[in-house]
Amino acid sequence: MNLSCVSTLTITKVDILTEGQYTCNVKEEIQGIIFRGQMTTQINIKQKPILVIKPIRSSVEEGSPFNVNCYVTNKKDAYIKNGTDIKMCVNKTEIKCQYNSNHNFTCNFTAASNVTVECKLRSNCSSSSSELFSAITVLKKGEKLCQKEGDWPTTQAGQEAIIPCPDGYSGEKTRKCLILGSWATVINSDGCKKEELEKIENLLNDTTELTENALESSLSSISSIVNNSITSSNDNDVAHNDIIQSVDLISTISEKTVNFTNQASANKTTQVFMGVVSDILDNGKNQVKAKNKTKEKEVTSKILSSVNKFAKSVTKALQVNQSVTVNKTNMLLSIEKIAKTTDIKFPKKTEGNSQQLTTHFTLPSEALGDIKGDGVAFTAVKYDNIGSEFLSGNETSIGSSVLSLTVDGLISTNLNENITLSFQRRNVSNSTTSSPNCVFLSEDRNNLVSVWNTSGCSLKSFTDTQVTCTCNHLTNFAILMSLTKTPSSHSQALTLITYIGCSFSVLGALATIVIYLYFWRYLKNRRSVLIINLCLALSIAYLLFLTVLDQTNDTVGCSVIAALLQYFFLAMFCIMLALGIDLAIAVLDVFSSRSSSGLLLLLGWGLPAAIVGITLLSTNVGGYGDETFCWLRNDTLFGFIGPALAIILVNFIILIIVMKTMFSSSFMLKKTVKEKTISGIRGMCALLPTLGLTWVFGVLSLGGAAVVFQYLFAIFNSLQGLFIFIFHVLLNTQVRQAVTRKVKKYESRTLSTKTSKSKFVSKSSSKEMQSFEESNEGFRNESTGFAIPRIDSSDVGQHRPFKSS
């Protein structure tokens, strides 16, 4: 509302945010004549009536009684015309209801069929306009229902109950009634907005400029609401929304133009503004975090941006060598205007307060050369309890306070002189085993939240207690500490091993596919089909990993890449499971070894598609791709880790059965300990790459010997395709036989006169067939070439040799 002071000489408008007494003064001087006038008026602000109906949606059994309540929540403060009353209507007809109090009615019904009850305040029942309505679904007896629980009405199983937000809030809350007839524990109250904050929002949206009084009034109201949300025992389901809504208002205020009269008034208002910010950062964002971690990122990002924007209005009220300082328990802010020839230092060094073991920065005056004018305005902040919300994993932690610097008029993306930052380390006792990373906050691809980035920042020096960094741009800075205590030299080595290994792995897998297809006439069997499909999935997965994992610029494209990576890596595991099942079939003779490979291929390619589909639907595509990589987010990693661990466990059991069966066979019992050992090692080496058991090193890398297992994991898994090529092509007897037959066929066709050479080849081939521990007493796995005895189901407890055809 605006109060206008009107005369023929002056027109003045005053923003009315709260009720109270307002005075209008008029003064004008004309030569020889003075006009003066004054009038005082009392402004009483009344609210619009807020009408509520309960329940908004519910279900009841046929023939059961139920009631609908309709009332005005803010009757005391609302403006309601005399004679205006609540009307409750069914089928456009007003019904008589129980009178609770003025503007509060309850109607009782007996359920016969589905019914919609309307609640009206300003119009008649015959009017087509509908203010509020309650939808009641009538069910036959015996159908499952969630019983009434507090304000939550009886609701049909599988449906969602809707009730109004608590008094003082607009919007609705929802809760799911599960299909078994029990209430879900999660209550969705994101739609609840505090009415007081909505009033402030409406007033702020009506203006582009704010007076100091209007700004202080708004900030005071917001501060009160934030403190009440943090300290009071309000409805915990909606208190976090107060914080989110307050942060949105802080952001709106920072966008407005505020013309401070002088440094003193700017300082006064800044103290109030930063007081609200401090309360939110100290406790408020923890309430948001408890409900939604992603929202916590957005809240902190908006706060950081709002502080810098608001500070620009403050700097306009400052003269050179003037400043505004705010010192809170969790933050220190300084808004200053200094001479252009002066270095920017923050915090200011005071006598008896050495900066040797503190967090501070220095920007040389040479970096300020592009700024016009003699004065330089800047905003510097030290935040003590933010940063961890922007970490994408659990491997790192924030090892310091966060420093922020914004200089008006300076292009800060590429400074003429670097900024030097010194950080006092946190958790000193845990930091000596790893070197820190100097990082800054950059906006993610959606410009919604920030992410830690290392571009343009480098580590200058560090000790157990202090870290010095240098950066060629300005923003929010901090240091990251590795929780896995992996030195940066190891990280670089592991990255190099991974990329080189994956490249060799793709080449090995593609070579395996080519050789198997070329000699398919001699290698055709179910296991060869699975090996080819495994190599195909591996090649595609690793190629995606090598080429597009970090293509995070396009949100949709990144989500597609992440889904494809999940699918092909899961396809690898599922085909490895199919290979394990095929191996178990061969050993246990559960089914015919000549059965179709169609079901195993369906398992290998179909199950991953189902898992990806479920993950996509359960996360509404929001669990794919983050600010760093096109991969699953932390809260959706179960869509990969769960199936992978299950397959590893199954294949590990199969491996134990196979090795136990092999070593208990009469064929192996005749061997010496040395021969048994060699056969066991060969068998393990051949099976591990195809059963995926090397991925166990990834789990072990989380233990105390983390670095050792990280290297083992990087080596064995990045080289998986190469190992398949070695053990299933180069050392595969069947492949070598196929090559020999191909050579023999070629020689017999083109060099028929060289019979002796053909006999020699045939003889050497005959020797090869017995070179890999096989006689008529054992079954040779057609892909690996090592002996696996088969259990005869018709002769339980006795092992018999399996003769491959």
What mean pLDDT comes out for the span 42-51? 74
Cβ pair 170, 198 in contact under 8 A: yes
Q: What is the pLDDT of residue 131?
A: 76
Q: 347: closest CA among 416, 452, 424?
A: 424
Q: How confident is the model at residue 765 (pLDDT cuts 50, 70, 90)?
A: very low
Q: What is the pLDDT of residue 676?
A: 54
Cβ pair 279, 224 in contact under 8 A: no
Instruction: Pull the structure tokens for residue 627.
Output: 């600010």
Q: How confident is the model at residue 432 (pLDDT cuts 50, 70, 90)?
A: very low
Phi, psi of 451 (to 5 degrees): -135, 150
Q: How confident is the model at residue 627 (pLDDT cuts 50, 70, 90)?
A: low
Q: What is the pLDDT of residue 35?
A: 62
Q: Taking the alpha carbons of 296, 297, 300, 302 in that order, is the dihedral positive or negative? A: negative
Q: What is the pLDDT of residue 211?
A: 82
In angstroms, the CA 259 to CA 619 distance is: 46
Q: What is the pLDDT of residue 294?
A: 74
Contacts of 644 (CB under 8 A, 6+ apart): 569, 570, 573, 692, 695
Q: How confident is the model at residue 512 (pLDDT cuts 50, 70, 90)?
A: very high
Q: How confident is the model at residue 352 (pLDDT cuts 50, 70, 90)?
A: very low
Neighbour tally for 443: CB within 10 Å:
15
Cα 345 versus chain centre, distance: 36
Instruction: Pull the structure tokens for residue 228.
Output: 């009440």
Helix (H, G, I), strand (E, B) or coil at 167: coil
Residue matched to tokens 């920065």:
361
Does the pLDDT value for residue 495 go beyond 80? Answer: no
pLDDT cut 70: percent of the chain above it: 73
pLDDT in tens, 154-207: 998 888 899 888 888 888 889 999 988 889 888 888 888 888 888 888 888 878
**pTM for this structure?**
0.57
Contacts of 440 (CB under 8 A, 6+ apart): 452, 453, 454, 455, 456, 457, 471, 473, 475, 476, 477, 478
Helix (H, G, I), strand (E, B) or coil at 733: helix
**Number of residues that make up the chain:** 805
Q: What is the pLDDT of residue 274?
A: 92
Cβ pair 344, 362 in contact under 8 A: yes
What mean pLDDT comes out for the span 44-70? 84
Query: What's the maximum distance between 2 C-alpha atoms anywhere in the chain?
Result: 136
- Of the spans 28-37, 59-68, 421-430, 438-447, which averages the highest pLDDT? 59-68
Q: Which long-range contacts (CB under 8 A, 24 or more apart) does 35-43 make?
A: 35/7, 35/9, 37/7, 41/3, 43/1, 43/3, 43/16, 43/19
Q: How confident is the model at residue 273 (pLDDT cuts 50, 70, 90)?
A: very high
Q: What is the pLDDT of residue 762?
A: 45
In angstroms, the CA 727 to CA 747 distance is: 27
Q: Which run of H or of E encompasses 211? A: none
Comparing 435 with 134, the larger pLDDT belongs to 134
pLDDT in tens, 519-540: 888 888 888 898 899 999 989 9
Comparing 489 with 774, the larger pLDDT belongs to 489
The mean predicted confidence, pLDDT, of the chain is 76
DSSP-assigned letters across all residues of 344-380: EEESPPBTTB-STTS-EEEE-GGGGTTS-SSEEEEEE
Q: What is the pLDDT of residue 669?
A: 59
Cβ pair 786, 683 in contact under 8 A: yes
Instruction: Pull the structure tokens for residue 311.
Output: 């500070």
Does the pLDDT value for residue 457 go beyond 70? Answer: yes
Q: What is the pLDDT of residue 4?
A: 54
pLDDT in tens, 718-752: 778 888 888 888 888 888 888 888 777 777 777 65
CA distances (Å), origin 151, targets 162, 295, 587: 10, 27, 62
Residue matched to tokens 């994991």:
713
What mean pLDDT comes out for the span 6-18? 48
Does the pLDDT value for residue 781 go beyond 70? Answer: no
pLDDT in tens, 200-234: 888 888 788 888 888 888 888 888 888 888 776 55
Does the pLDDT value for residue 396 go beyond 90? Answer: no
pLDDT cut 90: percent of the chain above it: 9
Q: What is the pLDDT of residue 236?
A: 62
Asked which of 240-254, 272-286, 339-353 is least confident by mean pLDDT, the reply is 339-353
Does the pLDDT value for residue 548 go beyond 90? Answer: no
Q: 212: closest CA among 252, 255, 267?
A: 267
Helix (H, G, I), strand (E, B) or coil at 655: helix
Q: How confident is the model at residue 150 (pLDDT cuts 50, 70, 90)?
A: confident
Strands 132-139 and 57-61: parallel
Does the pLDDT value for residue 129 go beyond 60? Answer: yes
What mean pLDDT comes out for the span 437-454? 70
What mean pLDDT comes out for the span 54-70? 87
Angular region, 592: left φ>0, alpha ψ -120 to 50, beta rest = beta
Q: What is the pLDDT of residue 394?
A: 59
Q: Report the chain's terminal Cα–Cα distance, integer Å.
A: 94
Q: Taking the alpha carbons of 240, 245, 251, 257 in that order, is the dihedral positive or negative? A: negative
Radius of gyration of the chain (CA): 37
Q: What is the pLDDT of residue 433?
A: 47
Angular region, 96: left φ>0, alpha ψ -120 to 50, beta rest = beta
What mean pLDDT comes out for the span 411-440? 75
Phi, psi of 80 (to 5 degrees): -125, 125
Residue matched to tokens 């769960």:
642
In angstroms, the CA 628 to CA 549 distance is: 9
Beta strands per DSSP E along 31-182: 33-43, 51-54, 57-61, 65-72, 87-90, 93-94, 98-101, 104-110, 115-120, 132-139, 145-146, 155-156, 160-164, 169-170, 172-177
Does the pLDDT value for residue 761 go beyond 60? Answer: no
In angstroms, the CA 307 to CA 526 distance is: 66
- Of the spans 263-272, 409-418, 594-603, which averages the highest pLDDT? 263-272
pLDDT in tens, 574-610: 988 888 888 777 777 644 444 567 888 898 899 999 9
